[in-house]
Structure 1
Amino acid sequence: MTAPARMTARTNWRGMLRIGALQCPVALYTAVSTSERIHFHIINRATGHRVRRDYIDEDTGRVVERDDQVKGYETDSGEEVILTPEDIAAAIPDSDKTLSVSAFLRCRDIDDLYLDRTYYLAPGTGPAAGAYPLIRDAIQARQVGALARTVLFRRMRTLVIRADGAGLVASTLHFNYEVRPVQAAFESIPDFTPTPDMLDLARHIIRSRQGRFDPAAFEDRYEAAVTALVQARIEGRALPPPPAKPAAPAITLMQALRESAGQMPPTPAHRRGTARGRAAAPHRKAG
């Protein structure tokens, strides 16, 4: 993690972090950005011209200019409740530019499912800025997250603030109604009880492949493939077709566990696929 104080990016929000009578100036910076990804324009295949988007009146077929666009909510009877930008602005709570901490939660009790977007919470400027390291160290020592609320991007949001290395990070939280019930997702889990031998093999596989979390090792294969494709088109050359994938043989769960644990030789089709993958690896890396 880069220390927030060294960041030169534009801030998303500036205000005060307040814990009772203790307060210090802070600033939010976006921690995750997709700006480095390749971005495409939409092109008319026939003319090569760029295409722009317009909002079209579904009855008249005419373009609706931005100043004439308002929001509508469809009722159960099919009627539209019209809300103008002024109506919505008047309903949004005013921002007092304060992150008011209401409680502290143990970090292990915070369900990751509720974490939304994460920001670097850097110290601001002013005579109260010295409280920042005090708050950071106290949160770190207790292994807790500070629950706070503020108006952010025109909405009242709840955030959890945690210590991270030299600074603090603040993550917005999903509201409870936004998180879907888990039962529907897992209701189709088969009624199957693994045998002790299966569990022993599975534990062995996990132990033998234990690693460390290293985001630098993650490969965005889609972005790499698209970058290589764009570069090939610029240079006027074609990319070689990807190697054909052999059909996976039908094996039992126990056979798969034993093969993964190194207790039986891989199937011929598996060996061929692995060899082809090793032969193709230098090309993918170069691309």
Structure 2
Amino acid sequence: MAPRANWKGTLKVAEVTCAVALYTAASISERIAFHTINRATGHRVRREFVDSDTGKPVDRDNQVKGYEINGGEHVMLEPEEIAAAIPDSDKVLNVSAFIACDGIDEIYFDKPYYLTPAESLAADAFSLIREGLKQQNVAAIAQTVLFRRMRNILIRAHGPGMIATTLNFDYEVRSAEEAFKNIPEHKIEGEMLDLAQHIIKTKTGKFDISGFDDRYENALAELVKAKLDGRKIAAAPKARPGKVVDLLAALRESAKLPARKTPTRRKSG
């Protein structure tokens, strides 16, 4: 079955426009999902909202959003008030600037989407914009209301189509300086640095995501299969705590090891 577009609108670069569609590029739908079950009856358990003081269930009609101001006091917001405050979507990806493809810190990347022409009549204009980005090796920055939020979007050429990546706002990204402030400064030089560079060179390769195995998902799949088959599955061995070793000695030992090959993907049965 053909994928369904998450959003349709217009891509606008100056006076050039074309109808476009966004499709989810990354999905968690293939992950193993569990339900919460009542062990005694085997029935699924449903979640219920209850009043934090009375403990009584609160039906959907009496549930409203609230913003805490202090000491448990809230400003209550009705659904229609929230809807009225959100900017209307004009369904236009309006390009405001072009930047170098590597001109933005990837920490601001949020979620990727495939961007395609929404109709055959848009193919020429779409291809023109895509080729312009590719030839100049730049990305476009656009803004639109997407899924009831104003979003900044980075658009890059990708094969016959384009990738549109939603971007985090500055206030959504935590300060790296705050996270790194307790890391002590160390000057690394001499043999230690030479050995580290040698190890990196011997293990340098090309990235191929298909070569990496999701051991957690595979273990869950094997567990479910074993339960269905009535088999017991051995518990995974616990990792041993690492020993404190001399850093220079560890580097010297590592430099003697052969380069690791790209891991092969193991398919669950």
The CA deviation string for residues 59-84 of structure 1, in whole angstroms up to 9 with x for no partner, is: 22221111221100111354211101
1:89 aligns to what SS in structure 2?
helix
Alignment pair present for 1:53 and 2:25: no
Alignment pair present for 1:151 and 2:151: no
2:223 aligned residue? 229
Q: 1:286 to 1:52 in 2, by over 3 A?
A: closer
Cα deviation for residue 246 of structure 1 reads: 5.1
| Aligned counterpart for 2:125 among listed residues 131, 141, 148 | 131
Q: 1:54 to 1:132 in 2, by over 3 A?
A: same
Higher helix share: 1
Alignment pair present for 1:197 and 2:191: yes
Q: Distance in 2 between matches of 1:107 and 1:138?
A: 13
Q: 1:250 to 1:57 in 2, by over 3 A?
A: closer
Q: Is the 8 A contact 2:24 2:112 kept in 1?
A: yes
TM-score calculated relative to the size of structure 1: 0.86
**Cα root mean square deviation, aligned:** 2.2
Alignment pair present for 1:109 and 2:103: yes
Q: Distance in 2 between matches of 1:124 and 1:243?
A: 51
Q: 1:58 to 1:202 in 2, by over 3 A?
A: same
The CA deviation string for residues 191-235 of structure 1, in whole angstroms up to 9 with x for no partner, is: 321231111111111110111111111211110000000100010
Cα deviation for residue 243 of structure 1 reads: 4.1
The CA deviation string for residues 15-41 of structure 1, in whole angstroms up to 9 with x for no partner, is: 110011100110000000110111100
How many residue pairs align between the two structures?
Answer: 264
Q: 1:78 to 1:240 in 2, by over 3 A?
A: closer
1:161 aligns to what SS in structure 2?
strand
1:95 aligned residue? 89
Partner amino acid, structure 1, of 2:225: Q
Give unmatched runs, 5+ long, in structure 2.
Answer: none
Q: Distance in 2 between matches of 1:215 and 1:246?
A: 28
Partner amino acid, structure 2, of 1:143: N
Give unmatched runs, 5+ long, in structure 1.
Answer: 1-6, 266-280
The CA deviation string for residues 227-250 of structure 1, in whole angstroms up to 9 with x for no partner, is: 000100010001123346555443
TM-score calculated relative to the size of structure 2: 0.92
2:93 aligns to what SS in structure 1?
strand
